[in-house]
């Protein structure tokens, strides 16, 4: 899908510290633009700051995390800009559902076990669209469930009556309820088995095309990102060290750390590698690239010590 050049979210020189016993510089001077309608993948090893960045750009950080510099600006499709640091309280809560929605890794476990799915979905409309009547709310909840591939009959179910995959789909439906322009997904399918994961990812890319929202998709699973992302940012020790469109990043990675990260996934380098971005690349190219990568990274290193960021 061709993405428009217009930004929907601009992250400008964002820095986030954890002011714990020792200060951790978890996000360091990150600048990043999310284009309207694109899927931007954010990859990097555990502890590099991906989740902190996700929480920072949705302003969900809690102490000891503090934004120590920079800002995040949302550019609405209606043509106005909002600096998120100017929002607080109710405005911020409303903004989060309305304009930017989130799906986090354990989201499916955050459904209330004693309430039916219908009540939990309806609650979003009751809070944010109080003008809607009961029948209209019900209708929209049914439509939402079907949008994410769950039969509307499940509205009457309790969470424990649904599989993990279905519960995660319900969470995605909830995130999409108010038609946000940005969806932040932090490891949204990691807890699910591979087949269910794949189905949900296909659903997300289909919905993105249908509804036009942009996605920040966070995972340490680089092969997965290569499949679904338009562009990929590689993060290390709080810094974005490389950002490019997915195919270029795969075929021509510039940073030694990116090359090393790519080479650490057997699925990208073995004979099965050609399923990645199928139809675009062959396993031979994948193999050749990786051999070069291995030779190159044997001789050089990135030079950013993880401890240095703490
Ligand atoms: N509450 C906290 N107090 C102090 N340091 C923290 C806290 N939460 C996270 N950190 C540190 O901030 C850094 C970034 O953590 P973060 O969770 O954002 O990384 P991540 O890339 O999302 O990792 P993962 O893939 O494991 O979720 C790490 O060094 C982590 O130890």
pLDDT averaged over the chain? Answer: 84
Which atom of ligand 1 lies nearest, measured to the CA of 306?
A: 29
How remote is the CA of residue 50 from the centroid of ligand 1, in Å? 8
Quote the Cα angle for 46-50-56, to 5°: 145
Q: Domains of the chain: which residue ranges?
A: 1-99+182-241, 107-179, 253-302
Per-residue pLDDT tens digits for 176-235: 999 999 999 998 888 788 888 888 888 889 999 999 999 999 988 888 899 899 999 999
- For residue 190, CA distances in Å to 49, 170, 194, 268, 275 come to 17, 16, 9, 19, 20
pLDDT above 80 for 2:
no
Top mutation candidate among 25, 27, 44, 51 for ligand 1, by most atoms within 8 Å of CB? 51
CA of 206 from ligand 1 middle (Å) equals 31
**The predicted structure's pLDDT at residue 266:** 72
Q: Is the pLDDT of residue 257 over 60?
A: yes
- Closest approach atom of ligand 1 to CA 55: 18
What's the 26 CA to ligand 1 centre distance in angstroms? Answer: 7
Cα gap 194→192, rounded to integer Å: 6
Residue nearest to atom 31 of ligand 1 (CA): 47
Burial degree of 267 (CB within 10 A; 0-12, 13-18, 19+): middle
Q: Percent of the chain beyond pLDDT 90?
A: 57
Which residues, 6+ apart, have CB-to-CB distance to 192 below 8 Å?
164, 165, 168, 200
d(CA 201, CA 188): 9
Confidence bin at 29 (pLDDT 50/70/90): very high
**DSSP SS3 for 24:** strand
Atom number, ligand 1, closest to the C-alpha of residue 48: 21
Structure pTM?
Answer: 0.84
Query: Quick check: 116 and 155 in contact, CB under 8 A?
Result: yes
Condensed to tens digits (0 to 9), the pLDDT of residues 238-255 reads 999 999 999 999 999 999
* Ligand 1 mean position, distance from CA 47 (Å): 5
Q: Do the strands 214-218 and 182-186 form a parallel or antiparallel pair, or are they unpaired?
A: parallel
CA of 145 to the centre of ligand 1 (A): 33
Distance between Cα 51 and ligand 1 center (Å): 7
Distance in angstroms between the alpha carbons of the first and the last residue of the chain: 39
Say how many Å lie between the CA of residue 55 and the centre of ligand 1: 11
List all residues whose CB is within 6 A of at least one atom of ligand 1.
18, 20, 24, 26, 44, 46-52, 64, 220
Where do the H-state alpha helices sit in 177-218? 194-211
Cα 49 to ligand 1 centre (Å): 6
Best mutation site among 15, 18, 23 for ligand 1 pocket (most ligand atoms within 8 Å of CB): 18
pLDDT at 269: 60
Q: What is 253-281 written as a DSSP string?
A: --SHHHHHHHHT-HHHHSGGGGGTTTTT-
For residues 116-139, give the mean pLDDT: 94
Strands (E), the chain: 7-19, 23-35, 39-43, 65-75, 81-83, 100-104, 182-186, 214-218, 231-236, 239-245
Tell me, what's the pLDDT at 203? 87
Which residue has the CA at smallest separation from atom 1 of ligand 1? 64
More confident residue, 241 or 271: 241
Q: What pLDDT, on the 0 to 100 scale, is given for residue 229?
A: 95
For the stretch 94-112, pLDDT in tens is 888 899 999 987 777 789 9
The pLDDT, as a whole number, for residue 279 is 34
Please tell me the predicted confidence (pLDDT) of residue 1: 41
Q: How many CA atoms lie within 13 A of 222 on its CB side?
A: 26
pLDDT of residue 195: 83
> Ligand 1: which residue has its CA nearest to atom 26?
46
- Closest among 16, 32, 39, 13 to 202, alpha carbons compared: 39
Residue 234: partners with Cβ closer than 8 Å, 6 or more residues away: 43, 44, 240, 241, 242, 243, 249, 255, 257, 258, 261
Q: What is the CATH number of domain 1-99+182-241?
A: 3.40.50.300
Report whether pLDDT(285) > 80.
no
Of 85-94, 174-183, 296-305, highest mean pLDDT: 174-183
Tell me how far apart the alpha carbons of residues 85 and 71 are, in angstroms, rounded to a whole number: 7
Q: Report the nearest-CA residue for atom 30 of ligand 1.
A: 47
Does this complex have an ipTM over 0.90?
Answer: yes
The mean-pLDDT minimum among 74-83, 122-131, 297-306 falls in 297-306
């Amino acid at each position: 899908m061709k993405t428009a050049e217009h930004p929907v979210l601009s992250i400008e020189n964002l820095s986030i510290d954890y002011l714990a016993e020792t200060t951790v510089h978890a996000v360091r001077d990150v600048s990043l633009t999310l284009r309207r309608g694109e899927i931007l993948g954010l990859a990097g090893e555990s502890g590099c700051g991906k989740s902190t960045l996700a929480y920072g750009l949705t302003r969900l950080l809690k102490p000891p995390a503090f934004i120590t510099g920079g800002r995040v600006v949302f550019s609405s499709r209606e043509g106005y800009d909002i600096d998120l640091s100017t929002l607080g309280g109710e405005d911020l809560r409303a903004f989060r559902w309305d304009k930017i929605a989130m799906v986090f890794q354990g989201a499916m476990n955050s459904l209330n076990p004693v309430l039916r799915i219908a009540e939990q979905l309806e609650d979003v409309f009751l809070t944010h669209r109080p003008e809607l009547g009961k029948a209209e709310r019900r209708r929209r909840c049914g439509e939402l469930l079907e949008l994410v591939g769950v039969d509307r009959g499940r509205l009457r179910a309790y969470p424990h009556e649904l599989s993990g995959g279905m519960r995660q789909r319900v969470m995605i439906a909830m995130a999409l309820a108010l038609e946000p322009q940005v969806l932040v997904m932090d490891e949204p399918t990691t807890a699910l088995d591979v087949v269910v994961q794949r189905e949900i990812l296909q659903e997300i890319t289909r919905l993105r095309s249908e509804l036009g929202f942009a996605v920040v998709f966070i995972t340490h699973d680089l092969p997965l990102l290569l499949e679904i992302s338009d562009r990929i940012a590689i993060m290390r020790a709080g810094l974005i060290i490389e950002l490019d469109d997915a195919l270029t990043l795969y075929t021509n990675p510039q940073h030694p750390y990116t090359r090393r990260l790519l080479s650490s996934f057997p699925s990208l380098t073995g004979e099965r590698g050609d399923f990645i971005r199928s139809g675009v690349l062959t396993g031979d190219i994948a193999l050749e690239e990786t051999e070069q990568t291995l030779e190159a990274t044997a001789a050089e290193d990135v030079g950013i010590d993880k401890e240095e960021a703490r």
